[in-house]
Amino acid sequence: MYGDLDRPPLRAEALAHALAQDGWRVEVLPVTASTNAVAAERARAGEAAGLCVVAEEQTAGRGRLDRTWVSPPRAGLTCSLLLRPVTDDPGWVPLLAGLAVARALGEHAEVDAVLKWPNDVLVGERKVAGLLAEAVDGAVVVGLGLNVTTRPEELPDERATSLAQEGARTTDRDTLLRAVLRAMSFTPGDRPAYRELCSSLGRVVQVHLPGGEVVEGTAEAVDQQGRLVVDGTPYAAGDVVHLR
């Protein structure tokens, strides 16, 4: 049984049946350390694309740049997708995955979701979802952490938010998972849409690079490789802070 009536469990059988028609194999785990680790192990074992591993509770979730991702049980969507994209520009896969999430939230939750490069999903200036993409033996594992009914006191800081806090039309996690997975059919033709939804462009930003260096300047473009161009210099990885 579950004690929080605002946070019912996912309907695993119904999800698996409904999403099988879209080519997804959905597996719901009661608890796991990391859905990305589970999906990566399956990728190394030769699992085909279309696997979605969802955890009702994740005990060792990871975000980008080795950060942790913490969420109370059933308060959000914590899942990892196994993709085997055919593309000449693998750097775009994480970006377009973020675009798919933002589109799904805009259409089904009716929130004004935008992107912070590379693939944080924001409502206003606050983060509602983060993605972590990892290359594994020719596949890409995309992990998603989406705050759904997370309460203010459960969020890591004031820069984070949840769909419930933003007055979303729905906080039904089954509906949201279906919407997100069905949006994950992106193509290179979606790149202009990413740029249009990327709120980093035209802003003065700080880019915190993996080695510890911090660069400040105007985010001018996202180039053909998916890199953020700041004052003429492209960056392939880093954590962006919007200054103004």
Whether 58 shows a pLDDT value over 80: the answer reads yes
12-194 and 201-242 in the same fold: no
Whether 62 shows a pLDDT value over 80: the answer reads no
pTM tops 0.75, yes or no: yes
List the single range of 13-17, 54-58, 60-64 with lowest mean pLDDT.
60-64
12-194 carries CATH number 3.30.930.10:
yes
Closest CA to 78 of 8, 210, 177: 177
Percent of the chain with pLDDT over 70: 94
Q: 206 with 235: CB under 8 angstroms? A: no
At the second CATH level, the architecture of 201-242 is Roll (2.30)
For residue 205 the two structure tokens come to 């930003």
Give the mean pLDDT of the chain: 93
In the prediction, which pLDDT does 25 show?
98
Percent of the chain with pLDDT over 90: 86
- Chain-centre distance of CA 42, in angstroms? 20
Give the residue extent of every domain in the chain: 12-194, 201-242
| DSSP secondary structure letter of residue 107 | I
**Main-chain phi, psi angles of 135, to 5 degrees:** -80, 130
For residue 170 the two structure tokens come to 């729905």
In the prediction, which pLDDT does 89 show?
81
In the prediction, which pLDDT does 147 show?
97
Whether 155 shows a pLDDT value over 90: the answer reads yes
Q: 48 with 20: CB under 8 angstroms? A: no
Question: How does residue 43 score in pLDDT terms, banded at 50, 70 and 90?
Answer: very high
Whether 46 shows a pLDDT value over 80: the answer reads yes
In the prediction, which pLDDT does 91 show?
87
- Burial-class residue 168 by CB neighbours within 10 Å (0-12, 13-18, 19+): buried
